[in-house]
Structure 1
């Protein structure tokens, strides 16, 4: 070993004590790493083999051979370490520290003046030099040691050993290291002595891993209730025995010395393996809590009778299924009129509760959406009870809640009377004679009640059938068939196919006024408002067709009619929006007054759209293109949602995933797989401007079609009018957000993240709607800025040729138009309402085959 005595340190170097010590420590670590790396590699390798249990799966001779080789390798590594290690001296540390400073100031401070000792000037120069060197030495910092040993280990054997040790830590067990002692002559003899193995398998629904009991030291062991314990005993029979108090088994129990033991943990207790190498555990059972379910609020009723009931459910491992039970609350029924007799026995209404398709089922909130309008208990007091079931088959029920079972509201008095008699008939068939008498009374003067004679004849037929069955007896099938006929007749009277569109609009206004007076829910009022919008549009269509026919008969006399009251389509839309805004604010009195003003104006007005162009303006073309893009995006979102559903329902056939509402297809209201990835892209290319290549072909993956749709949106942005105006800039900003959302959806689709893609697609559709609204405002502002009287004579002649809605007749005399009568959000709203209505009717199998074929063709097209 080298001399480690520390040299005398000059007074000027006393400030370097700690940098010098740290530099010496770094040199010591450097020498140790270079000398001990072989020994560490051998130790890590041996520990890794023992922790992985390699000695348990090979022959005993192989184990002894490996032990001898490991011993020789360790001895060689020790010899290498003694030969390589040198303890660093303080002089070496001082030299390294001095070499790290410019000019080697430490060596200069240790030097003495050689010449000019008696010369004052020389002494002054030497003192100044020493002072400068001292200042430079005071800036010294400790020099770290060089721990790199790659030059001594060119094959990186140290890293191989370290990797094996890390793998053993992750996948092995430290407890297996001690088992090697049993392989020694006095260690118990693995091959001849008794051994055992055990596993604790938690119930599958818990998601917990299986525990290897040999790796678990004796002590407390927490296991979920229902865990399966498996123990296997090897060696001489009777050398090892098993005892336990966790299963509660009685009767036929296998002997304690048996080779195999399997039992289920049902209670806390002890598990013991008695004998050489045995072990004992105190098992603490983790109970499986029962699920819980809660009704959050009273059900909401839509205008057409659909019930929405919010509820929440939770369980420690997840809710598996649930159901709702609805029973008649006879004690709270007002027993008058047809409800006086005792009701016929009817089973409880049982409907399954909706469960989350994806995500955590341990705690969630959902809505039960069902339509009970045709049930005999509709609009009667009932009790509803929710129950949920977990994977351990534990069932919990909610507290029964007293509600009125939501049903459809009928505003037409005759339809409401028929529904009431239908309810009485289903309540008890003994009411048949009374119901027939009431229906005869209300239809005594059919000319004053029925708008169509066919409906009166249907009612008379139902009355005669009811009277006949009342006299000769009525079975269940006849009772239900008669109730179905009355329901269809009531629906026809309530909705009908009115020939007079004005009467239908008045009827919608009366329904809305009545709902506001009776304090209906916001959802019901909103649906009735939409019905009024649809009825008004139908009335405007009839008005336009009538004006067109008059124009063809009177020729140029239509010019004289321009003196009548006029209202643009935008004015009418603003009035309806104002009425809806007043209702949403709770100002019902003002809303009723505005509704009456609208009714008076509609009966006396003349409507014009205010457009004088035969072709489409750039704004209209942009709006049409954005509408097509929005429909294409909706189609891609529907298909992505279908694919997400089928990931959790792989056994579903084409388009039959429950709740699938794709763009087209006949099964399950979803798109058939046979259509591949086809969407609406090709059709959109025909209806709008030139579409992108991917959307035009409608083929390829969803991600490719999403990319093509984003490229098409970028092209449309370049042709959008209104640049420089606040509205136009707002439209462009919204479309920029839509493009970014589409890009995110494309990336998610390529990564297989359908849920993330659906979220991005929803953001893109919302941004598209905002862009369309802003573009509509820009077009309206541009129209307001244009001054009257600037039109040409040709424009005046075009205005004369338009119908009251401002539509230019086609070349074949038709009254259709390619111009959008609705702008912005209403375009999407109207399209979705029409598509939903087509889907609803196509799902009604009792319709004629010809009508169903027609509806299927509509779905394929749109």
Structure 2
């Protein structure tokens, strides 16, 4: 090394040595201050009060031993850095190791003037490099020495003690050595301890009676009282009148009892105390029906209800029993019914949040139950955490079920009902079926239905013939009832039922293939099968009249949906499969299934008019396309933001790794350019630049569309729509500038504003078109052909002619809403636990968990 070190080098050397000393201190003595923080947190949180003095003494001694061991190991492993170590580290941090170079001498060619000049030039360069020497930053990271992050756990404990504990208790640290003497005093002299633990469901804290000086206590019913006496037996006694127990020994050193009634609680003896206890009763829950039972589309039952409890309802059940006195006992119902237990259905309760005040709806389908469309009694029962129950008043209702209006279908359902009412009706059902099948041409609409009817008749007759006592067995009866139900559905719906069954099978096969990771060729074949089945189903659904006799929803609750729109959803599913995004494809398949289950095709919609006859419909279509393009651009911008987060760590690692071997100072290596991504971030020809160009094209397109004739011009709705589109254009311009400046996050915010403004504009235009249609109808001009009315889509969401969908109502209207909500919440929790995700996404997931 150099014989005479300049002052700047000595300063850098001293600071480097100090950093190495700090490194050694942190690496060897981190267990010491971790133990100190843990002990201070325990004192601040009052652990010494939660355990007996003896246990506190043992814990204090264990801490002292652990601290001494940690100190000894730290001293043993401490490696005091020398000046030579600091010189070597400082020299290694500079390219070419100038300290070593200046300390060297020329080994060969000393007599050669040219070689001497080269050597002197090398020394001058090394001296210039040495003049820029800076102290080496110490490495204080302890992750590899503390893989379980115990130091952070200790620090967290101290923060919790400061925020929620008693920080002043940390000052008791010097007094812990006296615990042994205190334990001895407790053992020699009489003392006592007592706790009150309220039931967990109340959410109330525990009470340490030694610290409560007031004479009156209010305790929830069911609280557990625990007492402990120390010292000579019989000196301390307990007197209480809150548990109602008998035969307890007042002098028992350890007692536990439950508080059931108000009364007096006394601890008698030295330093004894007495309290007047008032019990806070746990009121039983209450449940009540909210409104009359409703029959929804397809015969589904819906019953709204409310349930209340002071601490929350934990469970509930609805019981449905046959009201035999109100049944019309004629024909097949003249026989006494077979004994059937009341139907019990669990009440739907909130998955999260408070259950103190519950307002929910019980939804179920009893169309195939033997009591469907018969008088029943309904009452509900709610339970709380103490197994107390509350019951609603029983109401007399008719159990909703699917109604059949085709005469032959209604007759088959009546035969099925009689068979399930009493198995002795089987001969009568056979007799009726023979009479019906005598002249099938007069009762069946299709030649294919009569053989199917006779097949069910043959099964029933064979079951009666093979039975030893000519009595239909319950298993055979249930099988025949299922056949009769399927036959009635076919009779009522015609070819629609077969088309629906083919569609259901195609959906199930495709869903199974997606979840099992089938070959792409198989998925393509199954997609073609689904498209064909869907086309047949849509055609049959368009030709099938709506269920007769059902109350039809108002115009505001209807929606017309074309086959092209369903095909777009299928195209999106296939696109996701080709990209390997099977989870998203499975979710869209589930949405498609829910949509088709609730779908009702309006007459004439399959012609593809789509509202083209309405003035301004073309502009609405163009704006809808622009909205979808803007949504796709926002999705691409979000993906670019994720890639920027992913590229952040490698860049930081590359910068911190410079100088190890003297290369990479200028950052012009090919790898460095590939990882830097500077052009992409500035928008000069990279991904961000492409996004900016797309944003500019969309903005110009929106500007041109504003110059075209728009629906509702001259009306308040039309002016509001125009203002919304102008607001969207300004947001697009700001997003374009942000993309060109490399501010991807800001661009995403502006794009969200543009999307919301475009949606609002389309809603205003749709309102204007709806007003125009109403005005035209009032004027006698007739209804606009193919006009798409305001309403809700089959999933229960707001939908307008613009194609924009809102979510102010629950998308799920079936009985699996709670299971679906739990699945979504579990998935959010799982993703929020993956720390490798971008920080922006993790922050969004945490905000979702805080909200729900």
TM range (shorter): 0.3 to 0.5
Normalised by the length of structure 1, the TM-score is 0.47
Larger-gyration structure (1/2): 1
